[in-house]
Each structure stands twice: as C-alpha cells, then as structure tokens.
Structure 1
Amino acid sequence: MTQKSILITGASSGIGYDAAHGLRAAGWRVFASCRKPEDCKRLQSEGFESPLIDYTDADSIVNGLAETLEATGGTLDALYNNGAYACPGAVEDLPIGALREIFETNLFGWHELTRLVIPVMRAQGHGRIVNCSSVLGFVGFKFRGAYVATKYALEGLTDVLRLELADTGIKVCLIEPGPITSQFRHNAVPHFERWIDWENSARRDAYRAELERLYTETGPARFELPASAVTKKLLHAVNAARPKPRYYVTQPTYLMGILKRILSTRALDAILLKG
C-alpha cells in the first residue's frame, strides 16, 4: 500500500508540530513546513521532510510545494493549513497596515497554497484540504478583532470551497479549536507592540487587563487542552470516508457553537461581554 502524504504548514511548534508527529506515527509521510530556515533544519534533524513555506512569501509557497511534489512524484493526499498569529487590540486602535499584514499570513497565503494544491488533487481524483480555524471563527471576543476577522473570512472561503468541490474527490474541512497549549499568546506580543498605541487609546484602562494576560505566564487557561486534541480531530478529517465539515475542539467551542445556534445576537453579546 502506498504511503499517504500530507503537507502541514506552521509545523515549528504547537498545533502544527504535534500534528506532524501524530500523522507520522499514524503512518503518513509528513512534509512539516516552517517559515524559518532554522526551524526547518530542526525538524529535518527529527527525521521530517521540511520545506520552507512562508505564507507572506509567494515564491516560498510555490517552491515549498514544488519540493514536496518532487519528493512524492507529483501527488499529495492532504493539505493542513495551520500557520497563523494574532494581533491583540481594540478594533478602533487597529491601523490598516496591521490588518493587511495579518490577512497576508492568516488568509491570503493559505488561499494561494490551496489554489496550487487543488489541481494536483483534481488530477489524482482525491484529496483532503483541512483548514485550522478557531472558536473565534464564528464568535467574536473583545480585543481579538484582527484575528477574528481573518478566521471569519477563512470560514466563509472554506464553506464556499467545500460546496464548489463537492462534485470532485476533494473533501474540505474546518477544525475549530478553543484554548490549546501553545506559544500563540507569546507570539502575539511583538505584533501588539508594533501596531497598538495603547497608552494613547481611549481604552487604555481596559488594556491594562489585556497587558497582564499577554505578559504574565499564568499556566494553562481554563478548559485548555494539549495540541494532541487537535491532532486527534485532524486524523479523523484526513482518514474518514465522510469527514465532517467542521470539527470542534475544547469545551468552549462546543458551548459557543450551541449558544450561537439558540440565542439571539443580543443575548449572546451579553454573555460575551461578561468575558
């Protein structure tokens, strides 16, 4: 039996790193891509094939996929789009440059890679495209506007893609994690410091609590799960004959999914405003 292949982006740490190890353990040939050469070298030392793919660099997307396809003989069974970051801040304090930059990484790069992969999967008659979204892809939290915007857009684009590929052998899925153990919060700090002038904001008092959350290591958040919880859902998404369109991960995602369906917008807002 031919070994199945998967290209995973953002595999240097967290969800992507665990996915790479989990899929390899399950017998997949894993191409664990990273955006930094040093991370690629580290994963290569762990036995992975690790092409360089930076979502903000179109050439790296083309070259990274070409490297993967050259290694497989031109086929790819699954793509797991995963790399993303957050830029915390009130919507009124987000410069347009911050939004352009986060969309380049969290959406446009994903879209470009996906577009390049679809012809490969169409030619072979099958494939799985799995996009890692978030509970923030269908509910909004304060001070998360930039990240929420990218995930809402991702969910809409993915839903349409799933419909458009329904008559092919290509299945399209979303994974929607809540709080997962990772460096996600730590990685958001440089973007916050670069773009948000919080001291001159009308909401500077509210930012003080946000600063404590960003800069203080408080241990696992309530309901936080390890990245392996996401990998478990990814394994189902790439192996099931009829994968689910959406996979919830963590209790907050399940709870918000229920509340989103049964409550009015005003009632849900009241809950979200309580934090």
Structure 2
Amino acid sequence: MTQRSLLITGCSSGIGYDAAHGMAKRGWRVFATCRNPDDVARLRDEGLECFHLDYRDSDTIRSALSAVLEATGGTLDALYNNGAVALPGANEDLPREALALVMETNLYGPHELTRAVIPVMRRQGHGRIVNCSSVLGLVAAPWRSAYIASKFALEGLTDTLRIEMRDTPIEVILLEPGPITSRIRENGAALFEEWIDWESSARADQYKGQLLQRLYRAPGRDRFELHPSAVTEALSRALEAKRPRPRYRVTVPTHAMALARRVLSSRALDWVLAKG
C-alpha cells in the first residue's frame, strides 16, 4: 500500500510539532512546514521532511506545495492547516494593520493554500482538508478579538467549503481545540508589544490587572489544558476514519462552550464569557 502523504503547517512547536511527529509515527509521509527557516532546519535534523511556508507570503505557499508535489509525484492525500498567531488586546486598541496581520496568517493564508491543493485532490480522486479552529471559533472572550475574528471566519469558510465539496471526493473537517500546551501565549506577547499601546489605553488599569498578568506572570497550566497529543489523536481520527465527522472537539471547554452556545441566551452567555 502506498504511504499516505500529509502536509502540515505551523510545525515549529505545540500542536503542529506534535502532529508532524505523531502522524509520521502512524505511518504517514509527513511534510512539515514552518515560517521560520531556523525551525525548518531544526525539524529536518529531527528527521522530518520540512519546508519553509509563511502564510503571509504567497511565494512560500507556492514553493512549499511545489516541493511537496515534486516529492510525491504530484499527489497529496491530506492537508492540515494548523499555523496561526494570536495578538491579545482590547478591541478598541487594535490597529487595522494588526487585525490584517492576524487575518492574513489565520485565514487568508490557509484559504490560499487550500485553493492550491483542491485541484490536486480533484485530479487524484480523493483528499482530506483539515482546518484547525478553536473553542474561540465558537464563542467570544475578552482581550482576544483578533484571534476570535479569524477563527469565527475560518469556521464559516470551512463549513461553506464542506457543503460545496459534497459533490466531490474531498472531505473537509474542522478541529476545535480548547486550551492546549503551546507557545501561542509567548508568541502573542511579542505581537502585543509590537502593536498594542496599552499604556495610552482607556483600559490601562484593566491591562495591568488582567491581561499583563496572564501574558507575563501566569503560573503553570490553564485549567483543563491538555498536551498537544490530544489534538494529534483527533487529527488521526479525522484523517483515518472511513467517514470522518465534520467537527472534532478537543478538551472539556470546547464541549462545554458548544453546549452553552446552544442552551444559553446571548446575555447569559455574555455573562459567562466576560469572566474570561
């Protein structure tokens, strides 16, 4: 049996890193990608086939996919759009350019890569596209508007694509993790420092009492936080099930928020979510 091929984005750490190694151990031929060339070299040293892909750079999207297709003889069994960034801050302090950066990384880049992969999967007569959303693609929360906007949009884009692909052999699937051990907080802190002028904000005291504590001094793990392998397990089911589900929810908070969105009024849900 021919080894199945899988392209994964955002593999430098966290969910993508675990998925790349975990799916390779399951027998998949994994093509990992990272936006930082140093991370590409590191993953190659670890034995992975890895390429440079930055969702904000169309040239790297094209070149990475071209390298993958050259390696496989023109086929690709599955795509896992995992790469994403978070930029914390109050909505009213978020510059347009900062929102655009998050959207380019979390939405436009995955969309561009997906569009490039679909013709390949049509020609070969099969394929699976898995997009990594979040519990914050289901509900809102304070201080996370850019990330939430991108994940709400990714949910809508993915749902629409799944419906449109019903007349094709291409399966389209969402993963919806909650709190997972990763570097997204550290990476988000760097973007926060670059883009958010919190000291001039009308919410400066709230930044001091809430967000800064979480970004820089929050001890230990979040409640209900799971290891990235929990997401890899869901990914393996999405890719290997004969008839995959449209959604795979990971962690207690994701299941709880999906239920809360259905049963609570908007005001009641806002009260719950306002607690962060």
Residue 133 of structure 2 aligns to which amino acid in structure 1? S
Q: Which stretch of structure 1 is more off in the superposition, 43-52 or 10-19?
A: 43-52
Distance in structure 2 (CA, Å) of the matches to 1:274 and 1:44: 42
Summarize the alignment of residues 1-275 of structure 1 with structure 2, pairs less than 5 Å apart.
Answer: 1-208=1-208, 209-275=210-276
Distance in structure 2 (CA, Å) of the matches to 1:262 and 1:89: 29
Distance in structure 2 (CA, Å) of the matches to 1:156 and 1:59: 26
Residue 258 of structure 2 aligns to which amino acid in structure 1? G
Q: TM-score, normalised by structure 1?
A: 0.99
Distance in structure 1 (CA, Å) of the matches to 2:195 and 2:269: 29
User: Structure 2: 5+ residue runs without aligned partners?
Assistant: none
Residue 164 of structure 2 aligns to which amino acid in structure 1? E
Distance in structure 2 (CA, Å) of the matches to 1:168 and 1:73: 22
1:60 shift after superposition: 0.4
Distance in structure 1 (CA, Å) of the matches to 2:96 and 2:15: 28
Distance in structure 2 (CA, Å) of the matches to 1:45 and 1:124: 32
Q: Percent identity of the aligned residues?
A: 63
Residue 196 of structure 1 aligns to which amino acid in structure 2? I
Provide the secondary structure at the position in 1 that maps to 2:269: helix
1:274 shift after superposition: 2.6
Distance in structure 1 (CA, Å) of the matches to 2:48 and 2:244: 26
1:190-218 deviation per Cα after TM superposition (whole angstroms, max 9, x unaligned): 11011111111111111112101101251
Distance in structure 2 (CA, Å) of the matches to 1:45 and 1:274: 43
Distance in structure 2 (CA, Å) of the matches to 1:179 and 1:273: 17
1:272 shift after superposition: 1.1
1:115 shift after superposition: 0.3
> May I ask how many residue pairs the two structures share in their alignment?
275
Distance in structure 1 (CA, Å) of the matches to 2:204 and 2:17: 36
Residue 54 of structure 1 aligns to which amino acid in structure 2? D
User: Structure 1: 5+ residue runs without aligned partners?
Assistant: none
Residue 241 of structure 2 aligns to which amino acid in structure 1? A
Q: Which runs of 4+ in 1 moved over 6 A?
A: none
Distance in structure 1 (CA, Å) of the matches to 2:274 and 2:99: 23
Distance in structure 2 (CA, Å) of the matches to 1:128 and 1:216: 40
1:224-245 deviation per Cα after TM superposition (whole angstroms, max 9, x unaligned): 0000000000000001111111
Provide the secondary structure at the position in 2 that maps to 1:10: coil
1:3 shift after superposition: 0.2
1:138 shift after superposition: 1.1
1:65-108 deviation per Cα after TM superposition (whole angstroms, max 9, x unaligned): 00000000000000000111111011111010101111111111
1:144-179 deviation per Cα after TM superposition (whole angstroms, max 9, x unaligned): 000000000000000000000011110000001110
